[in-house]
Structures are given as structure tokens and as C-alpha cells.
Structure 1
Amino acid sequence: MSKTAVIYWTGTGNTEAMANAIASGIGDADVMPVSEADASAVAQYDKIAFGCPAMGDEVLEESEFEPFFADVEGSLSGKKVALFGSYGWGDGQWMRDWQDRVSGDGAQLFEEGLMANGAPDEAECEAFGKRFSAF
């Protein structure tokens, strides 16, 4: 059985709600905000769901999440990775850019990233987690 982590950053609570619903769908996952995650610990997981909302000009949050994610890049090859996050504007460019980074790192990208405009649909997030657990 593979070991799964859900690692996220949230500003308004929407991405945290997504993380918890996705973890509920997975059933057995270590859930942690990025402030409690250790980039070196990512090696122990076979599957990782990363969550971050769109910030500013459709980029990842820059003070905590982006530095963490930059640290784990290079160690995602062969891992199964799902991406999710909320947004309030734009068209999802941050997610497309993030997907390109993950794929370029050699990870097996799960579906397209799950995006919620504002508050998430928890049932949709839970279903995403169930599908990711079977991936």
C-alpha cells in the first residue's frame, strides 16, 4: 500500500477545506500545512497531493509554499502527484504552470489540477481524493 501526503497552504481557509475533503476521500493520508512539512520528508511518500491557491498574478504563494515547492522539485520523479487550490480571479494559469513544473520533474501527474473558484464543493474534492487513492 502506498503512503500518501496532502500538503497545502491556505490564506482564507478554502484550500484547507479542499485538503481536508481530499484527504477524507483518500481515506488514509498524512495531512499537513506547508509550515509543518519538511521537504526532505517528501521522499517517504509515493503519492502527494499539493494544494495552494492562486496568488497575485496567478502564482503560487511566495513566502512559504513556493520556497517549499522549489525545494521538493527534483525529488518528484516517479511519484504520483495531484494538485489543487482555490482562486478568486484569473483563468487558472497558475495551475497550468504548476502542472508543467510537476510533469517536467518526471512525476506522474494525476488528472488536471482541481480548482475551486472561492469556496470549494467538498463532495467534488472528496471524489477527487477517492480517484487519487486509486491512481
Structure 2
Amino acid sequence: MQINIIFWTGSGNTEAMANYIKEGAESAGATVAVKNVAEASADDVNCDVLALGCPSMGDEVLEESEFEPFISSIEASVSGKKVALFGSYGWGDGQWMRDWSERMQNAGAQLVTEALIVNDAPTGDECKEFGTKIAQ
């Protein structure tokens, strides 16, 4: 199973989540590629599971200069794809993730599990468990 993890990070929390998720998925036998969104392309949706990570920004939205344009560019390509969403936040109640989950479902993505959101710095355990879950 190939899992591609694409993320954007500001403070490093979402990048840490991506790396922990990779550990969990690899422990479940998956092959995992992790990329910062600046290095990602539309070809990266060609995998068994696409894991996308972005922290809450501004008024609980996706990061607007790099991550949002990437999501817009792949939105038409996620129909029928298995997708997992994750991210960190420092304020709010997770509305950005609820909106993003709904957006991906409306685009036809199959969310493989409930999105993982972490307040501030992640602990490895919950992220590794998420990685294991998406690798099944």
C-alpha cells in the first residue's frame, strides 16, 4: 500500500504530525512518501491513500498562499480516492477541519477515517495510531 502525505506547516506542528503518521503507517506495512506541499504535484494523488495536513490559519481556514492553491488544483482528481485529513490548531474549535472534510467529500473523496486535529504540539501516540489506521 502506497500512502502519500502532503502537508504545509508554519510552526512545525503539522510537519511533526506528518512524520509521526508516517511512522505509524510504516509500522502497519505501508510504503510512505512525505512531502511539503511546496514539493508536491498533482501526480501525488496517484496512491492508495492520500493524507493531507494543514494547520488552521486566520479565521479557521487552510493556509492560503501554498496549501489552498494545491487543494484547488487536485480537487477534481480526488473523486473516488481514499483521503485522510490532519492538522493542528491553536485557537477555535476545529471548524476549518469540518469545512475541509465536507469539501473533500463533496469532491467525491472517500475519507478513510475521521480527521485528526491536535491542539498545538502533537504527541506521537495519537498520530502514529492515525497512521496505522489509514494503512489498513
Q: Same fold (TM over 0.5)?
A: yes
**Per-residue CA shift, 1:94-117, capped at 9, x if unaligned?**
000000011011111022210010
Aligned equivalent of 1:32 = 35
Aligned equivalent of 2:124 = 122
Query: What letter is aligned with 2:25?
Result: I
Query: What letter is aligned with 2:13?
Result: N
Aligned equivalent of 2:70 = 68
Q: How many residues align?
A: 132
Report whether the alignment pairs 1:5 with 2:4.
yes
In the TM superposition, what is the alpha-carbon distance from 1:3 to its structure 2 partner?
1.9
1:42/1:72 contact within 8 Å kept: no
Query: What letter is aligned with 1:110?
Result: V
Query: What letter is aligned with 1:89?
Result: W
In the TM superposition, what is the alpha-carbon distance from 1:46 to its structure 2 partner?
2.2
Distance in 1 between residues matched to 2:117 and 2:74, nearest whole Å: 22
1:7/1:50 contact within 8 Å kept: yes
1:6/1:32 contact within 8 Å kept: yes
Report whether the alignment pairs 1:84 with 2:86.
yes
In the TM superposition, what is the alpha-carbon distance from 1:65 to its structure 2 partner?
0.2
Structure 2 residue runs of 5 or longer lacking an equivalent are none
Q: Secondary structure at the match of 1:63?
A: coil
Q: Secondary structure at the match of 1:74?
A: helix
Q: Secondary structure at the match of 1:124?
A: helix
Distance in 1 between residues matched to 2:45 and 2:70, nearest whole Å: 14
In the TM superposition, what is the alpha-carbon distance from 1:66 to its structure 2 partner?
0.2
Structure 1 residue runs of 5 or longer lacking an equivalent are none
Identity over the aligned pairs, expressed in percent?
Answer: 58
Q: Which of 120, 131, 134 is the equivalent residue of 1:132?
A: 134
Runs of 4+ in 1 over 3 A off after TM superposition: none
In the TM superposition, what is the alpha-carbon distance from 1:43 to its structure 2 partner?
4.0
Aligned equivalent of 1:49 = 51
Q: Secondary structure at the match of 2:9?
A: coil
Q: Secondary structure at the match of 1:29?
A: strand
In the TM superposition, what is the alpha-carbon distance from 1:44 to its structure 2 partner?
2.0
Q: CA RMSD in A?
A: 0.8
Q: Secondary structure at the match of 2:77?
A: coil
Q: Secondary structure at the match of 1:61?
A: coil
